[in-house]
């Protein structure tokens, strides 16, 4: 007797969940509640509409841009079910950047949701655009059968170091990443996950694991501390980044956050001091950290128990992954030695769209993905990040990791967040400076920041200057925008206080 084979693609897995619990809620938002059956019927209708009425063919790249809303998810899955490749765009980009990214991947057209009139008109100048609210969802007909290797999505890198690259993931790599997240984090069918991070980045790490395990997604259009707190009263979990978690502690009622069962976070290093603030404020809410990159999500995970034992770690590699550190020559390092972290995993990207050379350069000789992050592993396999390879500050010929200085700065009780960047220096070539955000109105000044850092750091790592600002610029998902911070310093928009 033949045994049933597990679904091998994201679409097949979700279809199985729909069959198993068609009447359970899948997506909430805008005053609506869609069951799994309703979400699946809408996405199937959109898939047929695109192929039958819009002239979209299997394999075509289709952009999607707009604020979070339930219809965004229906369209996202509709593109996938049509056998097309979905290309989520950052709605915070200007229209010229969006057109550049769409041209890079050769998009056939773009589904446009809640964006400004200028963006909508600008996109329509160069390609077909379809209003998200105007997509039809009726009809019946054939939808293609997809293979694990079929391209599913292209995520555009931020482009902070140059021209963006299109990261291609297949239906197989997306499914593997979602199931790894679902297995390592405490997802349950009863979960209600508050989704406010922008969908262009958060679907793989938040929406897919939730739906693959039968939970529901409570969709918010973006981050608003009050709305998140209200949603948390009826929810069990949310996914955030450290800067957003700090804002929740500062702005949201603690009793609302305490209603959650667990939270997850990623995207940038979590200051130990912020993690301790969270535990002090809501001790009953579990904290889970994962670490990965657009090209390979996820790589490591640290559960609540591990974080409370070792709050500085980003966890251990997932069971199907192999992660290690290498030196500049690509030689594997021993425990405790700092090097570039590389990872081999079935969740690794297929490659960069149309860029064979960049794809080859991003991998080691044996196929492991280069992370661009510096770190070390201890004897238990726990990973500790020390900085970004490209963020390294070389001062007087010595390497300085900004993350180390940031961690020291955030140990000051009056600092809620800090960023360290390198700026040109006539004597040393480059020198670190620290920009800090005070924890409330506590009178923190740059001199105190400098004194704290210089007291706790070796002489060559000490910042040469500091500034205190009300807030730090961030990307669409809340990560620190260090390139912007550096530019503001060089343009004189951030006033530095020099060390004596």
pLDDT in tens, 420-452: 999 988 778 889 999 999 988 888 999 999 999
pLDDT at 241 over 90: no
Q: At which residue do the structure tokens 């950047």 appear?
A: 97
294-322 confidence digits (pLDDT tens): 999 889 999 999 999 999 999 999 989 99
CB 455 within 8 A of CB 489: no
pLDDT single digits (tens) 169-191? 999 999 999 999 999 999 999 99
Instruction: Report the share of the chain in percent with pLDDT over 90.
Output: 75
Rounded to 10 degrees, the C-alpha dihedral 276/182/66/156 comes to: 90
Sequence-distant contacts of 389-396: CB under 8 A, at least 24 apart:
389/340, 390/161, 391/482, 393/420, 393/421, 393/422, 393/430, 393/431, 393/432, 394/422, 394/429, 394/430, 395/422, 395/425, 395/428, 395/429, 395/430, 395/431, 395/432, 395/460, 396/427, 396/428, 396/429, 396/460
Reported as a pLDDT band with limits 50, 70 and 90, residue 390 is: confident
Q: CA–CA separation, 266 vs 239, rounded Å?
A: 8
Phi-psi region of 59 (alpha: psi -120 to 50; beta: other; left: phi over 0): left
Confirm if 285 and 237 have CB atoms less than 8 A apart.
Answer: no
pLDDT bin (cut points 50, 70, 90) of residue 239 is: very high
The per-residue pLDDT of the chain, averaged, comes to 92
Q: What percent of the chain has pLDDT over 70?
A: 98
Residue pair 351/168 in contact (Cβ under 8 Å)? The answer is yes
Torsion on CA atoms 51, 55, 58, 63, rounded to nearest 10: -100
Lowest mean pLDDT among 52-56, 225-229, 466-470, 481-485: 481-485
Q: 433 is written with which tokens?
A: 């400076």
pLDDT tens string 473-490:
887 777 788 889 989 999
Predicted local confidence at residue 3, as pLDDT: 56
């Amino acid at each position: 007797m033949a045994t049933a084979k597990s679904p091998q693609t994201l679409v097949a897995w979700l279809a199985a969940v729909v069959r198993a619990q068609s009447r359970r809620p899948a997506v909430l938002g805008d005053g609506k509640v869609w069951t799994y059956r309703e979400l699946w019927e809408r996405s199937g209708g959109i898939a047929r509409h695109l192929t039958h009425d819009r002239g979209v063919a299997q394999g075509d790249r289709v952009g999607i841009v707009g604020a979070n809303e339930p219809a965004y998810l229906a369209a996202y899955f509709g593109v996938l079910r049509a056998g097309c490749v979905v290309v989520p765009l950052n709605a915070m980009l200007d229209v010229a950047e969006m057109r550049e990214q769409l041209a890079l991947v050769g998009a056939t057209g773009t589904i446009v949701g809640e964006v400004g009139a200028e963006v909508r008109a600008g996109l329509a100048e160069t390609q077909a655009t379809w209003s998200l609210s105007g997509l039809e969802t009726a009809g019946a007909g054939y939808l293609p059968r997809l293979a694990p290797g079929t391209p599913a999505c292209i995520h555009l890198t931020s482009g902070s170091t140059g021209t963006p690259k299109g990261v291609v993931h297949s239906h197989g790599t997306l499914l593997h990443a979602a199931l790894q997240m679902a297995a390592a984090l405490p997802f349950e069918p009863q979960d209600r996950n508050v989704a406010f991070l922008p969908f262009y980045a958060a679907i793989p790490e938040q929406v897919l694991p939730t739906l693959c395990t039968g939970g529901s997604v409570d969709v918010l259009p973006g981050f608003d501390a009050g709305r998140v707190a209200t949603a948390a009263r009826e929810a069990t979990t949310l996914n955030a980044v450290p800067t957003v978690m700090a804002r929740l502690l500062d702005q949201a009622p603690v009793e609302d956050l305490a209603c959650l069962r667990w939270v997850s976070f990623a995207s940038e290093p979590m200051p130990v001091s912020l993690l301790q603030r969270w535990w002090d404020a809501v001790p009953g809410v579990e904290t889970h950290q994962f670490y990965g990159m657009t090209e390979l999500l996820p790589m490591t995970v640290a559960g609540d128990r591990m974080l409370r034992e070792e709050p500085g770690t980003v966890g251990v590699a997932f069971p199907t992954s192999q992660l290690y550190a290498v030196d500049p020559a690509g030689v594997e390092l021993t425990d405790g030695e700092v090097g570039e972290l590389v990872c081999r995993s079935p969740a690794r990207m297929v490659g960069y769209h149309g860029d064979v050379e960049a794809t080859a350069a991003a991998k080691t000789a044996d196929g492991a993905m280069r992370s661009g992050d510096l770190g070390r592993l201890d004897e238990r396999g726990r990973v500790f990040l020390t900085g970004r390879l490209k963020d390294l500050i070389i001062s007087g010929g010595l390497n300085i990791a900004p993350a180390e200085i940031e961690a020291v700065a955030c140990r000051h009780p009056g600092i809620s967040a800090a960023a360290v960047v390198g700026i040109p220096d006539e004597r040393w070539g480059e020198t670190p400076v620290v920009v800090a955000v005070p924890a409330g109105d506590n009178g923190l000044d740059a001199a105190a920041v400098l004194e704290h850092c210089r007291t706790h750091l070796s002489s060559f790592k000490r910042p040469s200057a500091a500034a205190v600002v009300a807030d730090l610029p961030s990307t669409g998902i809340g990560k620190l925008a260090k390139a912007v911070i550096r530019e503001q310093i060089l343009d004189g928009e951030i006033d530095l206080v020099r060390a004596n």
